[in-house]
Amino acid sequence: MKETQKIQLKGLTLEELQNYFISIGEKKFRGEQLFNWMYNHLVFDALELKNFSKELRKKIDETCELKTLTLVDKQFSNHTNTQKYLFSTHDNKKIESVIIPDKERNTLCISTQVGCPLDCKFCATGLMGFKRNLTAGEIVDQYLYSAREYGKEKITNIVFMGMGEPLLNFQNTIKAVEIFTHELTKGLSRKRITISTSGIPHKIIDLADYNLRVKLAFSLHSAFEDVRSKIMPINKKYSLKENLEALKYYAKKTKTRITFEYIMLKDINDRKEDIKALTKLCTQLPSKINVIPFNSIKHMNPDGISAELESTPYEKILEFVELLRNNNITVFIRDTRGDDIAAACGQLAIKHN
Ligand code: SAH
Ligand code: SF4
């Protein structure tokens, strides 16, 4: 039987696994056992299902698939302790996940799509275009593989800041979060999971109503509609104004504060008037700003506005942040080394596709 015809068990919820076993004439509790093997004990091979009979193991092995990805490369940076894992999917697409250690936490950054359709002018993933959505299994496996390599208990946070727009792959993103946080998997707390979006307002509302209560980051990058539309074409379809309403709803419903991500782009969003507009925007809802030095995308040989983008000089970033703080805005600066979460995440798996 060809691999692609096999039933994909990775990415199924507890209920779906239970239903699968009932459908093949097995007991429901096998679903819970398999859930535990795959998501807790990080088993990727049906033949390793120790408390299953030999026949059942063989049957699952022949008809089902327990792994969606193959780990093809691992990179470790001595300088920053960052670990990168390169995976290949069944259809030979390449995706990357990265672990970024920090003082008291280790954050895993994962992808939800191969490429991205939103074409943000500063983003390497955007420049490569859109290939396809990842399945829930492929999203979950980025975590499970990384957990096996790195130590499950050592991964303390997950950010959906890799390739792609999570809210355009809504169901699979939600399913992955439900598996990550499930009580049976001794999962991560919802507070330690962040979904980052460029802004699809009705999906932000859906996410709030879904009651996942994960943290939400919004890629703001300008508080002005016209500037934002220039660097993020999606803003022409879903305005900042519409997004802000949705974000207020999210913050209220989930009782969390929104993180605004803000890449510093020289002469584009680092002016005096940007400070004023940002201050006005941030005081409308519980929020904080993560200021991110722009990571060059010159290696992509971009044209148009993408070719002109430059990071604001670091001195000026410090000044910008200081002025915001003077206005009582909570601001954090991301690291400049290019190994930081957003910077490292924004640039994944490009050369391999
Ligand atoms: N699509 C989602 C999540 C993936 S992008 C989103 O846009 O929010 C994750 C983060 O990487 C975003 O904040 C994005 O703005 C940032 N990023 C993209 N390109 C970057 C670059 N060249 N330098 C620094 N950060 C970048
Ligand atoms: Fe897509 Fe996010 Fe990159 Fe924009 S910044 S192109 S939404 S991955």
- Annotated catalytic residue, options 15, 65, 96, 109: 96
Starting from the CA of residue 216, give the closest ligand: 1
Sorting pLDDT into bands at 50, 70 and 90, what band is 84? Answer: confident
Three-class DSSP category at 268: coil
Out of 68-82, 242-256, 262-276, least confident range: 68-82
Sorting pLDDT into bands at 50, 70 and 90, what band is 352? Answer: low
Q: What is the pLDDT of residue 19?
A: 98
Q: What is the pLDDT of residue 1?
A: 44
Q: Is 120 a catalytic residue?
A: no
Cβ–Cβ under 8 Å, residues 20 and 9: yes
Question: Residue range 308-330: average pLDDT?
Answer: 97
DSSP code at position 107 = E
The H-or-E segment that residue 318 falls in is helix 314-326
Between strands 69-76 and 113-115, the pairing is unpaired
If phi over 0 gives left and psi between -120 and 50 gives alpha, with beta otherwise, what is residue 15? alpha
Cβ–Cβ under 8 Å, residues 32 and 18: yes
Q: What is the pLDDT of residue 351?
A: 59
Task: Give tens-digit pLDDT for 92-144.
Answer: 999 989 998 888 899 999 999 999 999 999 999 999 899 999 999 999 999 99
Q: What are the C-alpha distances in Å from 285 to residues 85, 255, 326?
A: 37, 11, 18
Q: Which residues line ligand 1 (CB under 6 A)?
A: 122-123, 161, 165, 196-198, 219, 261, 263, 292, 294-295, 297, 342-343, 345-346
CA–centroid distance, residue 37 to ligand 2 (Å): 34
Q: Is 55 a catalytic residue?
A: no
